[in-house]
Chains A and B, each alone.
Chain A
Amino acid sequence: MKGAGDSSSLTTDGNILIGRAWIFGDNINTDIIIPFRFKSRTNDPYEMAKYAMYGFDPDFHKKISKGDIVVAGRNFGGGSSREQAPVALKYAGISAVIAESFARIFYRNAFAIGLPALEIPEIKGKVNQGDELKIDINKFSAEISRTKQIFQAKNVPEFMRQMLLEGGLVEYYKRYKRFPWAH
């Protein structure tokens, strides 16, 4: 997988992400992920990354390691349409987000900017802080290394997965000179 943020922890086949889990609860909204007054004053993704999860912990971006994975409860990314939310996470080094469910716009935005978003209701209570997770973008599944449990994420249309594999809509367009849904 490619990405403008180049934040993915890559293995040789390019579609496996390995990272450590950060656990969050329900209703982590986009105001928590990046407050308006910061995101509205820059157009630079690396600057946005400094405020990733600011509403949870202003130093979050310093505490995570490249490739870490957010594991959250219900309705992750609710609220504003701000694409800066997945962008901030991606450029801060988060390689993917797993949640019991996603808010609609965040989910679309995550695919559009090439941040894998896996909806897995069954993940609830199964992952501990710091657990190693292995995400397979081809199979759209996640494995907890500690317990060897594998969870299948909610299916997405093939064009959305293709968009992810390219690193998002911009990368997809640069390569194919068309949008993945175009007739």
Chain B
Amino acid sequence: MSASSLQQQYHQQKQDIPHLKSILVDNSLTFAEKAISIKNVEARNKKSKVISATGDIVVVDVDLAMAQDSTGPLAIRSLDEMGIDKLHDPSKVLLIIDHTFPAADEKVANLHALIRDFVSRHNCLLVEGSISHQYILEYLATPGMMILGADSHTCQAGCVSAFACGIGSTEIAAVWATGQLWLRVPETIKINLSGILNKGVFARDLILDYIGKVGEDGANYKSLEWKFSKENVRKQFSMDSRACISNASMECGAKISVFPVDEITRNYLNQNPRIGNGNLEKIEIQSGDSARYIDEFEIECNNIEPQVSGPDNVDKVHSVDELGNLEIDQAFIGSSTNGRIEDLEIAARILKSRKVHNNTRCVVTPASVRVYEEAIKRGYVEIYLESGAVFTNATCGACVGTHLGALGENEICVSSSSRNFVGRMGALSSKVYLASPATVAASAIEGKIADPRRYM
């Protein structure tokens, strides 16, 4: 089934979940405990109430199981080796060609062909040319949904209060075959946000600051629940900025990273109608007041400065001043972490009527076709081109050094993408520094890592 036939809207599908109400109102449970309890296969089979507590191993029903063009081929291979030729429910199976789209060479093209062949044999869903996590956010994810993806940043969909996490290829093949998988109910860390972000400081700076404090494994195996101290604190976090935080939570190892449902979530879902099985009945899960957290963390937004992380590890976080004046070869604005319309907007505001530095390449890559169209409509693309930047199609591309902005020996890149690991964007000797799109755009102009507050 192609993306275009997917566009047709389905009727909302009622979910048959025993004791749903009594689980949702249980004051002692975390988000993760509730989300897993309602998808517990044993409870569904017995039509009984089973509370899945932290630490339990639970087999769950999965609502959406995604693989992309670099994890899908291995999943297909595993399925073939097991001799499984029937999928449990093709409408819950999503293949996305996003990482190296369009194919950069013959080897990639052959693997893309393998995926298309699989999709046509099984009549499952295929999307080409939008990054999976952004596509899932725009069209499919819904509160309470159980989403597993063969991509680590699947946790992004926690921004709309879905239970979403990454797994590997062979396990996603098992989900395709049975509609189920085992999960361990994770411990939860509660993060209390207070204060207002200063001018020039964004969600990406906030999450980099947090990762710098807790380390690359600071939330390994854990669920993160983001909470707001006040109305005005909550309101500053748009859906795009929540998506950035949920996505980048993977960089401290989080299993899921969840924002509570509020009117920002509901407005987003109304303005971006769900398609296909995204029309599952929405289940708004709020953690209980007496839920047990393994840790609590306070973040005062007003104390955060623009952050730059790198090189080689995401938790190596510096203030922009510490790294200012470091000369760069490339500035990259894009990826599922920071390639949404708000990111493209701030980059356009900074680049408008200015020029990218002579010694620097600037590459801008939208996260999805929808973001791409919106950037054209709003005139951002003209601004980028006039500034001397390159605007590409939506793809992972430079984020994984596969095409459209790979780095050569000893090159230095400042990037809004997800990771700065050794060789991530190209040569082993190249270096990647991560920052918000604003910092990346300011750096593109100056040819060195630069403070975006000068351009606000």
Contact = CB atoms under 8 A, between A and B. Distances in A.
A57 to B, nearest CB: 10
B180 A55 contact: no
B346 to A, nearest CB: 27
A168 B171 CA distance: 11
A36 B45 CA distance: 41
Contacts of A81: 71, 149-152, 154, 166-169
Contacts of B177: 179
Contact of B167 (A27, A79, A108, A179): A108
A178 B220 CA distance: 30
Contacts of A80: 151-152
A104 B220 contact: yes
Contacts of B423: 31-32, 35, 54-55
Nearest to A80: B152
Given A173-B82, A182-B180, A40 B166 contact: no
Interface string B78-97: 10011110000000000000
Interface size of A as a range: 35 or more
Given A31-B423, A37-B406, A43-B77, A105 B82 contact: no
Given A78-B216, A174-B83, A183 B41 contact: yes
Contact of B253 (A78, A109, A173): A78
Interface in B139-168: 149-152, 154, 166-168
A166 B143 CA distance: 38
B59 A83 contact: no
B194 interface: no
Contacts of B152: 79-81, 105
A182 B216 contact: no
A126 interface: no
Interface in B382-407: 400-402, 406
Interface in B411-447: 419, 421-424, 426, 428
A32 B422 contact: yes
Contacts, number: 146
B255 interface: yes
Nearest to B186: A104
B220 A35 contact: no
A170 B169 CA distance: 11
Interface stretch (B24-32, B106-114, B323-331, B369-377): B106-114
Contacts of B400: 36-37, 40
Given A31-B422, A35-B423, A41-B111, A108 B171 contact: yes
Nearest to A100: B217
A111 to B, nearest CB: 9
Nearest to B403: A37
Nearest to B255: A104
B288 interface: no
A42 B73 CA distance: 9
A169 B82 CA distance: 9
A35 B432 CA distance: 15
B217 A39 contact: no
A113 B149 CA distance: 17
A40 B169 contact: no
A87 B126 CA distance: 26
A53 to B, nearest CB: 11
A165 B166 CA distance: 25
Contacts of B150: 81, 83
Contact of B424 (A31, A109, A112): A31
A150 B343 CA distance: 52
Contact of B217 (A32, A103, A173): A103
Interface in A84-126: 84, 87, 101, 103-105, 108-109, 112-113
A113 B214 CA distance: 30
Contact of A35 (B42, B45, B401): B401
Contacts of A108: 167-168, 171
B57 interface: yes
B174 interface: yes
Given A31-B423, A183-B41, A183-B59, A82 B70 contact: yes
B71 A83 contact: yes
Contacts of B77: 43
A108 B57 CA distance: 13
B170 A83 contact: yes
17 contacts: A35-B424, A37-B402, A37-B406, A39-B70, A40-B99, A40-B108, A43-B73, A55-B421, A75-B220, A75-B253, A81-B167, A81-B169, A82-B168, A109-B169, A170-B170, A174-B82, A183-B42
Interface of B: 41-42, 45, 57, 59, 69-71, 73-74, 77-78, 81-84, 99-100, 105, 107-108, 111, 114, 149-152, 154, 166-171, 174, 177-178, 180-182, 216-217, 220-221, 253, 255, 313, 400-402, 406, 419, 421-424, 426, 428
Interface of A: 4, 27, 29, 31-32, 35-37, 39-43, 54-55, 58, 74-75, 78-84, 87, 101, 103-105, 108-109, 112-113, 157, 159, 168-170, 173-174, 179, 181-183
Given A40-B99, A157-B57, 6 more contacts: A27-B313, A35-B423, A37-B426, A75-B253, A103-B220, A174-B82
